[in-house]
Structure 1
Amino acid sequence: MDFSDLTPLAGGWSGQTFVADAAGERSVVRIYPPGRRDDAAPEIDAAVLRLVRGLAPVPDVLEVRRAVTAAARPGLLVTSFLPGERGDLLLPTLDDSATAGLGCHFGELLADLAGMPTLKAGPFVDADLTIGDFGVTDGLPGFVDVHAGSLGWDPDLLAGLESVAAEAQSRLDTVGRTCLVHSDANPKNMLVDPETLTVTGLLDWEFAHSGHPFTDLGNLLRFDRRPPYAEAVLAAWCDRRGGTAAEAQSLARAADLWALVDLAVRRGENPVADQAHEHLLAIARTRDLHGLP
């Protein structure tokens, strides 16, 4: 592949995804710098795409090259180019009716993923999608304790966060199964047909793992909480997976607390981390999973 013909793909923070044009055919090229992830990362991402093919709209895998950190050789994953407009760009242009329609499609897609069972929680560690261990003990309270120093908060705020984390973990423990989790399922990573509002692509699976069934729903509803959108997402999700919208929303907020903490300690790296920090601050101040800045 001639890397001089690559054009950076808009929308990502890593600067490692490109569009390639060859003989009139477009493809997407993701570069894996040595040492950023495990050498097997391109193979793992490719295996996840193949796993969900037919269940979710994902690109075809065209080429995979394993990274070799010892030789300073980057990994490579080449996939087909999917049509559609990024969901985060399309959503602000829609009226309430269309917003609800798109929210319905998003909810259905994530409900389908949440119905894909796994045997335990953990990261994928190889091309066979063997499930490893996150190395986290004591659930959310333990995770908060590990990262408390990095947040740089005063004791009252930390106490508020610890209280919410304990409540959230109790709620999450009521769900006794795990499933495939995309872990970055937000409109920026979804391509949409602007005419039909159907999802044409769910992209960027680098954080995929086996985890809690409400994780992706929490990610999707983290920042955009407009009633027409959120209500449609929750209704569609519950139509597929059962339960009530109120229960699903609370579980989604609880599951998303893991990501909010992880992002908040990295504030300053990108706008999403900064926004997550503000949300986490509001949750800690109000001692409410649904707290807003």
Structure 2
Amino acid sequence: MEPPRPRVDPRLPGYVLEPLAGGWSGETFLATGSEAPGDRVVARYFADGRHAPGTARIQAALLDRVRGLVPVPAVRQVSDADDGLPGLLVTELLPGERGDLVLARLVARNPAPDRDDGLRSLGRALGRVAGTLAATPLPRSGMFADAGLRIEPFDFRLPDWVDTHAPRLVDGGWTDGEVTGLRAVAERAVAGLDGAAPCLVHSDLNPKNVLVDPATLQVTGVLDWEFAHAGHPATDLGNLLRFDREQAYVEGVLEGWFTGSGVNSGGGVDRGVGEPDRRRATDLARVADLVALIDLAARAEANPVVRQARAHLRAIARTGDVNAAP
């Protein structure tokens, strides 16, 4: 796919837009003042058909809702889709570096003595964000329907989710046995997902969508809330642990998640500090993450995240173990 080109927008007079690196949607741009290069903001477009007409305002309302809980950018401008122009959300440009780049550098330090300390510190900072959101209760599970953050409930069962995506998995080369194995995993996972008190879920909380101070390894910004919803408390933890499995990083994420709030997360997971608690939390996180993993693996495109999701999900289907990796 050809990369997005620089563009101008009549709603942002005096700004030149250049695509920001790191995303595969081509919807996020750095807007720089043509006469004041120091004047820089981030412009996020909602042009894809998957976005509802009011998505930009929902995103703005979410940023207002979580400000003070986790670091997020201030909203500068929001515009609905109109006259052929997509919805637009303009926010401040926060300091920091993408967390996935920081994480990759820390992993590459091996065998430097401070490698594990850095991985643990970064994991702890990211886990604390997930724990804070898991301790933010909402009245019901569902999607945010409007700028008032009204929740539209959804009826969801993981085995049905597998059945819905199975034809696309088969088109991608899965055998009937692999699909059957995945459905068996989903059937066993239902008990872990049922009964959890709903909370605020970012739903794409991975290092790529987090800005980090590379010196202190503290989170400076949590970005890209387009998949946010009211859902299971272990969902964001599962995202953080999905592909990045360095032991020190995982230990840090779990520590941060448990200490992000003293409130019980629901779903049978006690925010204790013992090894059994950590194992239960990890297992539940893997179960909760199956929802996103299945959706990613069944997509037609083949960006790096989709390819990783396919490999991980296939390993789970073949072994019956939610913790399996390729």
The TM-score, its normalising length taken from structure 1, stands at: 0.94
Please state how far the C-alpha of 1:72 moved relative to its aligned partner: 2.2
Pick from 31, 55, 58 the counterpart of residue 69 of structure 2: 55
Structure 1 letter corresponding to 2:78: V
1:127 aligns with 2:161: no
**Structure 1: runs of 5+ lacking an equivalent:** none
**Aligned pairs (5 A) from 1:95-110:** 95-110=115-130
Once the two structures are aligned, what percentage of the paired residues are identical? Answer: 52
Is residue 93 of structure 1 aligned with residue 105 of structure 2?
yes
Query: Contact between 2:22 and 2:208, CA under 8 Å: does it hold in 1?
Result: yes
Q: State the alpha-carbon separation in 1 of the partners of residues 300 and 252 from structure 2.
A: 31
Relative to structure 1, the CA distance from residue 290 to residue 267 in structure 2 (aligned partners, 3 Å threshold; closer, same or farther) is farther
Q: Is contact 2:29–2:42 with CA below 8 Å preserved after alignment?
A: yes
Mapping for residues 1-293 of structure 1, pairs under 5 Å: 1-2=12-13, 5-22=16-33, 23=36, 24-33=38-47, 35-68=49-82, 71-94=83-106, 95-136=115-156, 139-152=157-170, 153-173=174-194, 175-239=195-259, 240-241=261-262, 242-243=271-272, 244-293=277-326
Q: Confirm or deny: 8 A CA contact 2:17 2:30 kept in the other structure.
A: yes
CA distance in 2, matches of 1:123, 1:38: 12
Bigger proportion of residues as helix: 1
Shift of 1:133: 3.0
- Give 3-state SS (helix, strand or coil) of 1:45's partner: helix
Cα contact 1:34–1:72 (8 A) shared by 2: no
Q: Any conservation in 2 of the 1:267–1:277 contact (CA below 8 Å)?
A: no
Moved more, 280-289 or 28-37: 28-37
Residue 307 of structure 2 aligns to a residue in which SS?
helix
- After superposition, what is the alpha-carbon deviation per residue over 1:170-213, rounded to whole angstroms, capped at 9, x for unaligned? 1122x530111101100001111111111000101111111100
3-state secondary structure, aligned to 2:199: strand
Shift in Å at residue 236 of structure 1? 2.1
Task: Give the letter for the 2:22 counterpart.
Answer: G
State the Cα deviation string for residues 52-88 of structure 1 (Å, max 9, x = none): 00101000001000113xx422111000000001110
Q: CA deviation at 1:143?
A: 0.8
After superposition, the C-alpha distances for 1:119-148 in whole angstroms (9 at most, x for unaligned) are: 111111100011113353xx1011111111
Pair 1:247–1:37, CA change in 2 (3 A): same
Amino acid at match of 2:39: E
Q: Which amino acid aligns with 1:149?
A: P
AA aligned opposite 2:28: T
Q: CA deviation at 1:4?
A: 6.1
Cα displacement (A) at 1:267: 4.6
Once residues 126 and 237 of structure 2 are traced to their aligned partners in structure 1, the CA distance between those partners, rounded to angstroms, is 9
Alpha carbons of 1:73 and 1:268: their partners in 2 closer, same or farther (altered >3 Å)? closer
User: What is the CA–CA distance in structure 1 between the aligned matches of 2:246 and 2:214, rounded to whole Å?
Assistant: 20
* Partners of 1:34 and 1:75 within 8 A in 2: no
2: CA distance, partners of 1:259 / 1:179: 17
Which deviates further from its counterpart, 262-271 or 104-113? 262-271
